Amino acid sequence: MSPSDCDDTTPVLRDDASSDDFQDEDYKTRWRSIRVMYFNMFLSSVGFTIVITSLWPYLQKVDASASASFLGWVVAAYSLGQMLASPIFGLWSNYRPSREPLVCSIIINLSANIYYAYAYLPTTHNKFHILVSRAFVGFGAGNVAVVRSYVAGATSLKERTGAMANMSACQALGFILGPALQAGLSFIGEQGVVVQGIDLQLNMYTAPALLATAFGFINILLVVLVLREHHVDDHGRHIEAINYTSEDRDDVIEEREESLDQVAVVTSNVLFFIVMFIFAVFETIATPLSMDMFAWTRKEAVLYNGLIICGIGFESILVFLVVKAASQRVGDRPVLLAGLAVIFCGFFILLPWGNQYPKIQWADLRNNSLVSGMSAASNSSVEPTGCPYEQTWCQYTPAIHLAQYISSDILIGVGYPACNVMSYTLYSKILGPRPQGVYMGWLTASGSGARTLGPVFVSHAYTLLGPRWAFSLICVMVVVAIVLLSSVYHRLIAFSVRYRRMTA
């Protein structure tokens, strides 16, 4: 690379990068390292979903005092742990090689999975051991901030959208395969086998956590043996890790912070929060909504919604491929705006209308009680289906049709992945050629906060007010996101573009 290729904003470049052989080898090792990060993202999502379908029965098995409300705290513990850890690991990666926070976080993650598998051993308070173990699993998953920061720093502007889309596809694949692996391990059964010497009950509840532990060991080997530090500028030119004195580093950080558009940074975090909040609402409400509106049993709801979620996962992978091509043609911001519009349509069509009303559970119970010769014990064994009579809105709110539900699933399955990948792709470009660990930590924390608050919001809004109010509020939230994006549209640009405009 000739000196003329450098400008005032280019960090110290490697002198020997002019060799074609060196560039080829550097390119290969850079992308090998990026693929290790893809695998890390895949394992992060697998670690969340591989036990999610068996979490409730395992909780009941080890501690009979556990309630459904406590299950909500156990589920939220993962996101809370990730929210706390993300800025910490992100800050760590700013000043030290990415390998260090990654290995530390993976060790925490696999240790927490082992803790989860042994949660039955204590004689008391077993449910709290499960709660703590899931919190530490989430804490270890805070390395997502390091992954996003690394990929952002190791790709050029031209490469970044594709790399972020690939990373999101790996994440989506993890969400698909996690429940599938859990289902595949269910053949072990509830009793399973006892491994003598280590007091381990290997059953359908502990095996998924132990499999996630095995994945963690593989991940550590890949990080230690394959991962190398790579930093490139916006044009893909390799730059050395800069070894400033503390005084020089402070001057550089201060100069970069002054050039950074903080309005764009805050807006990106808000948009990402809204996108993650909306999808958390969608995931949480799917099962109770389908049981209320279509009179599905618990078994039917789990089966059918499981199939729908898998279908959305595969749909998301296709969307990521389309997003890569669309963003090259029209840019990142229009794709994000279009994704929000599609999400709005997905929730809007869920609004109840017409003169058909959902089946009420108390009607089933009344009819069953009139059957001659049926004992009270046999009545209690019949699972009531339909909308619970305690939810008073069931009596005056029109039913949501199955066609509405499926159409909404398809639209949200298109809009969410597009918004997800475009949110942090734009964010990484706005931050520019700076250590992004802390900023990516805040972005991950905002997403974790959304996944914590979303289920709480929708469970209360839906139970008390019904789907009409719950989905109307979500539609309003999406409109706010669209207005916010439109108002700062011109500011959501790459750091290098903004810097050129400022110095022109």
CA angle (260 as vertex; 445, 241 as ends), nearest 5: 80
Whether 181 and 272 share a structural domain: no
Q: State the pLDDT at residue 10.
A: 34
268 and 226 both lie in a single domain: no
Burial class (CB in 10 A: 0-12, 13-18, 19+), 392: exposed
Element (H, E) at 379: helix 376-381
Q: Which residue range is the domain that position 363 belongs to? A: 256-367+386-504
450-475 burial string, b = 16+ CB within 10 Å, else e?
bbbbbbebbbebbeeebbbebbbebb
d(CA 372, CA 381): 16
Same-domain status, 196 and 307 = no
Q: Give the domain-ending residue among 175, 210, 243.
A: 243
In-domain check, residue 372 = no
**Do both 99 and 125 map to the same domain?**
yes
Q: Is residue 373 part of a domain?
A: no
Domain presence at residue 377 = no
Judgement on whether residues 208 and 272 belong to the same structural domain of the protein: no
428 in Cβ contact with 63 (< 8 Å): no
Residue 234 lies in a domain: yes
Give the number of other CB atoms < 10 A from CB of residue 22. 13
Same domain, 308 and 409: yes
DSSP 26-57: HHHHHHHHHHHHHHHHHHHHHHHHTTTTTHHH
Q: Of the residues 243, 264, 297, which one is the last residue of a structural domain?
A: 243
pLDDT given for residue 382 in this prediction: 66
**Do residue 262 and residue 356 come from a single domain?**
yes
Is there a contact between 482 and 420 (Cβ–Cβ < 8 Å)? no
State how far the Cα of 163 lies from the Cα of 441, in Å rounded to an integer. Answer: 19
Helix axes 495-503, 402-431, angle to 10 degrees: 40
Cα–chain center distance at 363: 40
Residue of 88, 81, 145 whose CA lies nearest to 115: 81
Q: Is residue 454 part of a domain?
A: yes
249 falls within a domain: no
* Same domain membership, residue 154 and residue 269: no
C-alpha–C-alpha distance, residues 338 and 259, integer Å: 29
Count up the domains in the chain and report the number.
2
Residues 193, 333 share a domain = no
Give the pLDDT confidence score for residue 340 in this predicted structure. 95
SS3 414: helix
Predicted confidence at residue 362, as pLDDT, reads 61
Q: Do 173 and 313 meet the contact criterion of CB atoms below 8 Å apart? A: yes
* Cα–Cα distance measured from residue 182 to residue 204, given in angstroms and rounded to the nearest whole number: 8
Instruction: Give the Å distances, CA to CA, from 9 to 39, 249, 265, 401, 477.
Output: 33, 15, 21, 57, 39
Query: Is residue 416 in a domain?
Result: yes
- Nearest 5°: the CA angle 72, 76, 79 is 165
Boundary (domain end) residue, out of 218, 243, 268: 243
| Residue 448 shares a structural domain with residue 474 | yes
Tell me the three state secondary structure of residue 201: strand
- State whether 238 and 284 are in the same domain: no
Integer-rounded Cα radius of gyration of the chain: 25
DSSP-based three-state secondary structure for 123 = coil
What is the CATH number for 165?
1.20.1250.20
Looking at the structure, tell me whether residues 404 and 495 fall in a common domain. yes
384: phi then psi, degrees, rounded to nearest 5: -70, 140
Which residues on adjacent β-strands are paired with residue 202? 193
**Residue 112, in any domain of the structure:** yes
**Weakly modelled stretches of the chain, pLDDT under 70:** 1-23, 53, 67-69, 72, 234, 236, 239-259, 298-299, 302, 362-383, 434-437, 499, 502-504
Q: Give me the sign of the Cα torsion angle 343, 344, 348, 349.
A: negative
CA distances from 367 to 293, 362, 384, 391, 396 (A): 19, 9, 11, 19, 21
